[in-house]
């Protein structure tokens, strides 16, 4: 069992008290499951609790995902008016064509100006799509995400040191945006809820996702030195080392097979040993390069922290849930 | 009230006497002292300008070569879950 709002709040608050320059963000689809039924009192009560907990934690930015519209945009408007930092650069008011929520926010962290902007898909998923359309008839207009990204990044130039897109578009569209709109340092994505231990790079942008259902908290540690240089993945040397270790194991098993020949010809085993050794040597050179390139550059390390049930819970949030009379999802 | 020339003359005379008495009580500043005071004033003004500029957004940008660490805590697709889920 992993996850739980009370554990997540306790965990994130603990980190915030221990470290400086911590910002809490969400990429969207925070409030409702795809199966959420229209005007469900229980789902709305749960969503209000989540909103309250994120305000309690002092969240920096929360992107509006398509599923967040399942109970209608008015629910989100109400939470926004009560201080929830919702953002979306492409969710517009159909009458005025102006964004319903802030298109972006700029937060200071350790003297660095970090800009977050948000995007949601212009097409809804087959299942929940009808419910989203019904709940928002005539109330929303979704602009093309690439166009909205281009305009927003243009506005942010000179205003921020670091640009982060909180995206509910999915990995494929995130890659498209990263290629089409240079200048985005990171895309913290979602929509599919992938478990990504390693970042995907598109152009100079790194794309990451942090699984589903609050089971993990993605921790993106950034060491920022030079405003003009790109970010290097500090986890890369470790990933290469893991590959080398796997090849070492393979080599040992091949050498064992050579000592106890059973069916395979010696020539085949020798050839396999040569191939694996060649791969290992190439990886060792790559490791050396990766270790050198990480030195003295902007760098990042992404980890997914499991929210295990043994972690402490936030008593305040637990009390709120209990007072709301909710004991299961 | 009617003032006479003599009235103002008396005032000026008293003032001159007070200035003379102060000159004897207080040490006269040498040129060197005056220069030191002027230098301190200039440094003070420069410090004030520096403090104003340091607090402006332009100078708040990240200085190249200075490392800063930021930590972003991220979630996505929580989809209304309040309680732990089976993995």
pLDDT grade for B6, boundaries at 50, 70 and 90 = low
Mean pLDDT of B13-41: 73
Whether chain B has a CB inside 8 Å of the CB on A227: the answer is yes
**Per the structure, how many domains does chain B have?**
1
Confirm whether B34 is domain-assigned.
Answer: yes
Domain assignment present for residue B75? The answer is: no
In a domain? residue B84: no
Does residue B30 form part of some domain? Answer: yes
From residue A247, alpha-carbon distances to A77, A223, A244, A251, B55 in Å are 54, 31, 5, 6, 55
Cβ contact, residue pair B76, A168, below 8 Å:
yes
Strands (E), A120-235: 141-142, 162-167, 186-188, 200-202, 205-208, 216-224, 232-233
Give the rounded distance of the alpha carbon of A155 from its chain centre. Answer: 23
Residue B21 lies in a domain: yes
pLDDT at B87: 77
Give pLDDT, residue B53. 65
Domain assignment present for B52: yes
User: Is A54 in a helix, a strand, or coil?
Assistant: helix
* CA distance to partner chain A, nearest, from residue B81 (Å): 6
Question: If pLDDT is split at 50, 70 and 90, which confidence band does A293 have?
Answer: confident
| Nearest CB neighbour to A225, from listed B67, B76, B79 | B67
CB-based contact A328:B83 (threshold 8 Å): yes
| CA contacts within 13 A on the Cβ side of A299 | 15
Query: Going by C-beta distance under 8 Å and a sequence separation of 6 or more, which residues neighbour residue A178?
Result: A184, A187, A202, A203, A205, A207
Question: How large is the ipTM?
Answer: 0.91
| B71 in reach of chain A (CB within 8 A) | yes
- The verdict on a CB contact (< 8 Å) between B69 and A26 is no
Average pLDDT, chain A: 95
**pLDDT at residue B2, rounded to an integer:** 44
For residue B27, give its domain range: 5-59
- Asked if the structure places residue B37 within a domain, the reply is yes
In this predicted model, what pLDDT tens digit does every residue of A152-210 receive, in sequence order? 999 999 999 999 999 999 999 999 999 999 999 999 999 999 999 889 999 999 999 99
- Best mutation site among A30, A44, A128, A196 for testing chain B: the one with the most B CBs within 10 Å? A30
Average pLDDT over residues A9-28: 97
What would the mean pLDDT of B39-44 be, rounded to a whole number? 80
User: Which one of B72, B84, B85, B87 makes the best mutation probe of the A interface by having the most chain A beta carbons within 10 Å?
Assistant: B72
Contacts of B52 (CB under 8 A, 6+ apart): none
């Amino acid at each position: 069992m992993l996850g739980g709002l009370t554990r997540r709040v306790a965990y994130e608050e603990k980190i915030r008290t221990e470290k400086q320059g911590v910002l809490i963000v969400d990429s969207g689809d925070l409030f409702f499951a795809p199966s959420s039924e229209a005007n469900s009192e229980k789902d709305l009560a749960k969503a209000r609790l989540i909103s309250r907990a994120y305000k309690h934690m002092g969240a920096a930015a929360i992107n509006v995902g398509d599923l967040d519209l399942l109970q209608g945009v008015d629910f989100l408007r109400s939470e926004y008016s009560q201080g929830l930092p919702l953002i979306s650069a492409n969710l517009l008011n159909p009458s005025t064509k102006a964004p319903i929520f802030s298109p972006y926010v700029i937060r200071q962290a350790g003297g660095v100006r970090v800009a977050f902007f948000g995007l949601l898909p212009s097409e809804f998923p087959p299942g929940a799509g009808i419910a989203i359309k019904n709940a928002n008839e005539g109330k929303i207009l979704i602009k093309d995400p690439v166009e909205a990204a281009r305009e927003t990044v243009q506005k942010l130039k000179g205003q921020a040191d670091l640009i982060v897109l909180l995206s509910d578009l999915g990995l494929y569209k995130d890659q498209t945006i990263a290629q089409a709109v240079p200048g985005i340092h990171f895309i913290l994505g979602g929509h599919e809820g992938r478990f990504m231990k390693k970042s995907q790079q598109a152009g100079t942008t790194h794309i990451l996702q942090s699984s589903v259902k609050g089971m993990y908290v993605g921790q993106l540690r950034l060491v920022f030195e030079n405003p003009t240089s790109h970010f290097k993945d500090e986890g890369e040397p470790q990933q290469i080392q893991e590959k080398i270790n796997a090849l070492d194991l393979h080599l040992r098993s091949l050498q064992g097979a050579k000592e106890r020949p059973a069916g395979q010809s010696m020539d085949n085993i020798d050839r396999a040993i040569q191939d694996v050794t060649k791969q290992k040597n190439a990886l060792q050179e790559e490791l050396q390069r990766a270790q050198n390139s990480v030195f003295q550059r902007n760098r990042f390390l992404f980890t997914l922290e499991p929210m295990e049930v043994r972690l402490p819970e936030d008593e305040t949030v637990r009390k709120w849930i209990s007072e709301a009379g909710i004991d299961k999802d | 009230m009617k003032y006479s020339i003599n009235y103002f003359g008396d005032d000026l005379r008293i003032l001159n006497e007070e200035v003379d008495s102060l000159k004897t009580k207080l040490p006269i500043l040498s040129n060197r002292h005056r220069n030191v005071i002027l230098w301190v004033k200039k440094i003070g003004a420069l410090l004030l300008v520096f403090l104003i500029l340091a607090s402006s957004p332009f100078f708040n940008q990240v200085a190249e070569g200075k490392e800063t660490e930021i930590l972003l805590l991220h979630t996505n697709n929580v989809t209304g879950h309040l309680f732990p889920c089976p993995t």
